[in-house]
A and B are shown apart, each in its own frame.
Chain A
Amino acid sequence: MIKTQNLTKKYQWLLAVDDLSFSAEPGEVLGFLGPNGAGKTTTMRMIAGFITPTSGSASICGHDVLSAPLAAKAALGYLPEGAPTYGEMTVHGFLDFIADLRSLEGTHRKSRLDYVIGRLQLEPVLEQTIETLSKGFKRRVGLAQAIVHDPKVLILDEPTDGLDPVQKHEVRALIKEIAREKTIVISTHILEEVDAVCTRAIIIARGRLVADDTPAGLSARAPSGRLDDVFRTLAA
């Protein structure tokens, strides 16, 4: 459901993403691992249609991101790094806004909003402005807007960043719960998350793909059997 082919992004001073090709199918939770600056966020932004690639292509559910951007974006739920929102809006207002953009209507809209608000425990802060929320709540609002339209594909950039252990657990449980019919890509630094949630992991370093395997398979590559060591060797 996600397919990238020779995806490349070259800035004046930097080759951020170098000839990246991979695909992910429904039921997979693909982990994007890599050191800071490896090109994970840039790759996600290209797939989500926020940045135009220098060359190569990406498609979501068969819709090419460059030639059919509206269809591709409609099928996608995206949580950008840092979970940006419109801070002056209330949580309720913001989710309504996203639901409008996603063309949700009638009872379906109500049930999706209720589900998302309930599942992410946003009831206590519904009428608060987003800029007054704690980091954890802000991230949950970001997650809510990504899943409200029940997209077939989800791209989540560091979804548990800054959350406390309880919230991390909740979010990971949510991801596993909805993973069944969806294609999910999450980028993370937290290696235990890879074991906990991902069915497959890709390691990116300096813009290139250096490993593509199951978490178990990757761990097995190091004599210690720890993903930590594999990561450090490959990403060095």
Chain B
Amino acid sequence: MKPVGIILRREFASYFATPLAYVFIVIFLVLSGLCTFYFGALYERGQADLLPLFNYLPWLYLFLVPAVSMRLWAEERKTGSIELLFTQPITIWQAVVGKFLAAWAFIGIALLLTFSIWITVNYLGNPDNGAAFAGYIGAWILAGGFLAVGSCMSALTNNQVIAFVLALVVCTVFTLAGFNMVTEWSHELFAGIAHWSFWGEGMREGIQSFGAALTDGIATLSFYTHFSNIMRGVLDLRDLLYFALVIVFFLLASTVLLDARKSR
């Protein structure tokens, strides 16, 4: 059996060997229910779709996914099992991917268990189930993005708490980058800078358009921008490609970090 599969199986089983998994899943379900029905006002909205849930998922993920990812590598270092793992005939990349996939599958299970919300919406109305299904896929893929960042942060440090906080901060930056609130603020910021009397006339426009381009560029890097398309049920190849690239990038970064720390 391939090393990735072997490590995936082991990791996945270890989640359920302790109360960790159950506690996490319960909290996730309670919070997602709270977000959907209370903050998202599913009943009041009167619309049969899952947008109330999907709208809040990035914020849920922000706290819950780093909690899963923080122990990916920090735990191995603490117990010393990392020495056992990396002296087996496997590559670091295989170990990184195996652990990531196990964590991703675990979050997938947690997501699946929100199916009661889906049933509720189906009972109350006539939702577009295709869109809902696509939304769930998008939600899962979004979790993958957060996880990949978390894996990288976990590889960066020995301390689980630091790994948690770093993952939270980086994911926040990625999420907020595409928000209207942030893009507008950024446009205004550059408009403000452009109006300093310091610059010559010709520079003003240039600065503003540079600022606009920079902001839009960062917005395209945002998790939220790409997820908001998918959660409405549109599986655009560009959005999927974006997430695939982000995940691969951060997993590669994890591998490089783990390798680099070997020679220090």
Contacts and interface: CB of A to CB of B under 8 A. Distances in A.
A93 to B, nearest CB: 8
B6 A78 contact: no
Given A51-B263, A80-B80, A101-B6, A86 B14 contact: yes
Contacts of B17: 88-89, 129
A48 interface: yes
B262 interface: yes
Given A52-B262, A73-B87, A100-B1, A85 B81 contact: yes
B18 interface: yes
B79 interface: yes
B197 interface: no
A102 B83 CA distance: 16
A70 B95 CA distance: 13
Instruction: Report which residue of B3, B10, B14, B91 has the largest number of chain A beta carbons within 10 angstroms of its beta carbon.
Output: B10
B86 interface: yes
Interface string B60-88: 00000000000000000001110110111
Interface in B89-127: 89-91
A98 B10 CA distance: 10
A85 B85 CA distance: 9
Interface in B201-223: none
Contacts of B10: 86, 89, 97
Given A45-B83, A52-B262, A88 B3 contact: no
Nearest to B88: A101
Instruction: Report which residue of B13, B14, B84 has the largest number of chain A beta carbons within 10 angstroms of its beta carbon.
Output: B84
A84 interface: yes
A10 B206 CA distance: 51
20 contacts: A11-B264, A50-B83, A50-B86, A50-B262, A51-B263, A70-B89, A71-B89, A80-B87, A84-B83, A85-B81, A85-B84, A89-B13, A89-B17, A93-B13, A100-B1, A100-B6, A101-B3, A101-B6, A101-B88, A101-B90
Interface residues of B, number: 22
A52 B80 CA distance: 17
A84 B81 contact: yes
Nearest to B14: A88
B87 A76 contact: yes
A74 B89 contact: yes
A132 to B, nearest CB: 12
Interface in A42-83: 45, 48-52, 54, 69-71, 73-74, 76, 78, 80, 82
Nearest to B80: A84
A37 B77 CA distance: 20
8 nearest A-B residue pairs (beta carbon): A84-B80, A52-B263, A74-B89, A88-B17, A73-B89, A80-B83, A100-B6, A48-B87
A52 B263 CA distance: 5
A50 B81 CA distance: 12
Nearest to B263: A52
Nearest to B259: A52
B81 A86 contact: yes
A76 B81 CA distance: 17
B87 A78 contact: yes
A197 B86 CA distance: 28
Interface in B152-183: none
Given A48-B87, A52-B262, A87 B80 contact: no
B81 to A, nearest CB: 5
Interface in B1-39: 1, 3, 6, 10, 13-14, 17-18
Interface string A1-31: 0000000000100000000000000000000
Given A73-B89, A97-B6, 9 more contacts: A50-B262, A51-B262, A52-B262, A54-B263, A80-B83, A80-B87, A84-B83, A86-B79, A101-B6
Nearest to A149: B89
B89 A102 contact: yes
